Amino acid sequence: MRTADRSESWPIRWLWLFGAVAADQLARAFTPFYTTKPKGLGVGLALAKRIVERFGGRIAIDSATGRGTSVCLSMPVA
């Protein structure tokens, strides 16, 4: 996890080096009830995005083969 000090927001980035997420899965990652897990509900990322945006923040996923997948959460400084 990395943090950066910015005057307007504090970004936090989680990085997974296990592999890349397929482009079609990445495009639907924040869609409610979309899941790739057999017993998943598909509400986790959709709910996280809704909460983060309600408080003026942003959440994004970036993924590339050979680089891994990262999730960046950026919240405004109070």
Q: What is the CATH number of the domain that holds 36?
A: 3.30.565.10
User: What six digits make up the tokens of 60?
Assistant: 């994004």
Strand order in the sheet with 9-16: 2-3, 9-16, 68-76, 58-64
| Neighbour count for residue 49 (Cβ, 10 Å) | 20
CA 3 to each of CA 46, 56, 59, 77: distance values in angstroms, whole numbers, following the listed order: 23, 18, 14, 13
pTM of the model: 0.75
User: What six digits make up the tokens of 4?
Assistant: 């950066």
Domain count for the chain: 1
Condensed to tens digits (0 to 9), the pLDDT of residues 12-69 reads: 888 777 778 889 999 999 999 999 899 999 999 999 999 999 999 999 999 988 888 8
Could you tell me the residue range of the domain that residue 48 belongs to? Answer: 2-76
8 A C-beta contact, residue 73 and residue 62: no
Give residue 8's pLDDT band: very low, low, confident or very high (50, 70, 90): confident
